[in-house]
């Protein structure tokens, strides 16, 4: 019989790629949105898989709504990818960020326990929990020192998952994901903004790209590969938490350079630094060690930042031309 997967947050980048992966493995895939009848699910449409998914309207801040969908679907695997996903926006909406991540996670865990759901649970955690990693890559033993409301919310959800695993014996684990990109990122994310602007400048539709802090360094991976790690984490006999990263670090200026070089453009001629775009608190350096995932999951990143920036820039260019921008 086909396994049944329930994806909270299916409309986002990771939810869409994960749904495609699971469908390819023969799963029956269910996904949620606050209002499934009104949601466009544009990422699922872009991947051509929307018609293959069963949708449910769920408010994750409401326990009854959450437990109801679990009883109705009776999933073998649950993936929690929901919640406010922007670090920058979390400074403007700290309470909504905390509620959509931490409160939602506790509701799902309680619903699993309350209805005695015999399922495996994956929680999307974040490298933002670590804060600055400094000179050394973070691993599963690195202490959390979050520097944003988003990171604080993700850290809270991480410890909730660990507590339910240890207290109630749930198969519940967290993937501590470092940055992972694709064309399905919302345009408010800086990587998508950079690639879109490079493509627009190449087409003669824009002349400048405004950015904040170019000195930050990140570990950037490719989103379709990262959802494979999520799935692999639920295939083992024991629930464990994993850092998912490439193990390579690059500056944001390197990302900009690669995106613009796709079109033989000198990025320094087009980029303007605006202090208003800088965050109140910023992680200067963030990268991770995927050694545990390499060894125990046999998962390895295959696509790294220079190629990612060029892929995204080319896809932005083609998308703009398709839409006669």
User: So which residues are the catalytic ones?
Assistant: 126, 128, 150
Among 163, 117, 96, which residue's Cα sits nearest to residue 6? Answer: 117
Q: What burial letters (b/e) apply to 226-247, b meaning 16+ CB within 10 Å?
A: bbbbbbbbbeeeebebbbbbbb
262 — phi, psi (to 5°)?
Answer: -55, -30
Half-sphere exposure of residue 114, counting CA atoms within 13 Å on the CB side?
Answer: 14
Residue 242 near residue 292, CB atoms below 8 Å = yes
**What is the bridge-based pairing of β-strands 250-251 and 217-218?**
antiparallel
Among 23, 43, 56, which residue's Cα sits nearest to residue 223? Answer: 43
**CA 294 to centroid of chain Cα atoms:** 20
């Amino acid at each position: 019989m086909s396994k049944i997967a329930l994806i909270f947050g299916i409309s986002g980048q990771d939810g869409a790629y994960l749904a495609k992966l699971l469908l390819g493995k023969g799963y029956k895939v269910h996904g949620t949105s606050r209002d499934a009848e009104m949601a466009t699910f544009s990422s699922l449409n872009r991947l051509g898989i929307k018609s293959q998914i069963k949708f449910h309207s769920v408010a994750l801040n409401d326990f009854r709504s959450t437990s109801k969908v679990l009883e109705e679907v009776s999933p073998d695997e649950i993936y929690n990818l929901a919640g406010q996903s922007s670090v920058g926006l979390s400074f403007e909406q700290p309470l909504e960020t905390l509620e959509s991540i931490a409160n939602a996670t506790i509701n799902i865990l309680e619903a699993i326990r309350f209805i005695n759901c015999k399922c495996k649970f994956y929680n999307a955690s974040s490298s933002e929990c670590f804060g600055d990693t400094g000179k050394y890559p973070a691993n599963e033993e690195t202490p959390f020192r979050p520097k944003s409301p988003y990171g604080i919310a993700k850290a809270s959800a991480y410890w909730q998952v660990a507590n339910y695993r240890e207290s109630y014996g749930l198969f519940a684990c967290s993937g501590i994901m470092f940055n992972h990109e694709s064309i399905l990122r919302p345009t408010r994310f800086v990587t998508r903004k950079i690639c879109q602007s490079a493509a627009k400048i190449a087409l003669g539709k824009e002349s400048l790209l405004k950015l904040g802090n170019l000195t930050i360094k990140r570990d950037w991976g490719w989103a379709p590969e990262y959802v494979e790690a999520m799935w692999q984490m639920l295939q083992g006999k024991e629930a464990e938490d994993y850092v998912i990263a490439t193990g390579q670090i690059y500056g944001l200026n390197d990302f900009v350079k690669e995106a613009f070089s796709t079109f033989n453009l000198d990025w320094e001629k087009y980029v303007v630094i605006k202090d208003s775009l800088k965050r109140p608190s910023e992680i200067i350096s963030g990268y991770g060690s995927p050694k545990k995932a390499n060894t125990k999951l046999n998962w390895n990143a295959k696509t790294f930042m220079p190629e990612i920036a060029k892929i995204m820039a080319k896809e932005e260019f083609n998308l703009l031309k398709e839409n006669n921008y």
